[in-house]
Amino acid sequence: MGIFGKAKMINRVLLIPLDAIEANPYQPRRNFDEKALRELADSIAQNGLLQPVSVRQRDDGRYELIAGERRVMACRMLGHEKIRAIVETVSDEKSAVFALIENLQRRDLNFFEEAQGIQRLMQCGHMSQQEAAKKLGKAQSTVANKLRLLAFPPELQEQMLNAGLTERHARALLRLPDSRMVAKALEHIVQLRLNVGETERYVESLLAPAPEKPAQKATRLFIVKDLRIFMNTISKAVSTMKLAGIEVDTSQAEDEEYIHYMLKIPKKSAYRTHSA
């Protein structure tokens, strides 16, 4: 009997060669913490593998992991040749669901990986958002909000994760209209270490319309109008002086910086002597 003959028994715990196990193509997690993996490997070395992994057998006789990728990686780190596994018969859809739920329950996924996992689940299972939400035990609005995060380009997703931003930070940035504006805002948020509330207010300020400035022509007309009022006041004052018998000579000139308005009053007109 070959190495795979005994493994055809379904729902039994078997010892399966590690090099016969392929990764789950629906595994949502892409980044694994090296320190955490080493700690898991140390625990397995001390206590053994307490929980078997789950696999399904492919047509070519090899196995595809359903759940337990970290355990497989830790056993490989230890140099183990075989691993305890339960062979199950599941569809692509169920395999994707199991892989996603395993990570969600242990909170191993970042929010972008979670969104990518939900998207792959919908694609392989030909599910609507509502159907995926039901499978995962989530509200449809929650699923919709998570899928919206995939609108960010991969480079911006990576920057947010590297900066330690939360899902709420990312959802606030979703309100901005384009990637260029998001990138600029992200730089500001990271530099100032803005929390979620501060980020939401900052994004709101970016979206607020700028106050309209009056047209330059209208401003000039307003200034000219006020100047004419003052000129008219001066003209009336000159007329009053002339009616009182005071000689007044007026002139007006203009250069690049000033408007010159001059009044000349002869002293003989301003200071009159009266005989006793």
Catalytic sites, residue numbers: 69
d(CA 52, CA 83): 8
Amino acid at 70: R
Long-range contacts of 113-119 (CB under 8 A, 24+ apart): 113/28, 113/29, 113/30, 113/31, 114/28, 114/146, 115/146, 115/147, 115/149, 115/150, 116/28, 116/30, 116/150, 117/26, 117/28, 117/29, 118/143, 118/146, 118/147, 119/147, 119/150
DSSP per-residue letters across 170-223 = HHHHTTSSSHHHHHHHHHHHHHHT--HHHHHHHHHHHHSPPPPPPPHHHHHHHH
- Asked if 20 contacts 62 with a C-beta cutoff of 8 angstroms, the reply is yes
* Residue entry with tokens 């609507």: 128
Spell 112-147 as b/e; 16+ CB within 10 A means b.
bbbbbbbbbbbebbebebeebbebbebeeeebeebb
The residues with which 263 forms a beta bridge, in sequence order, are 250
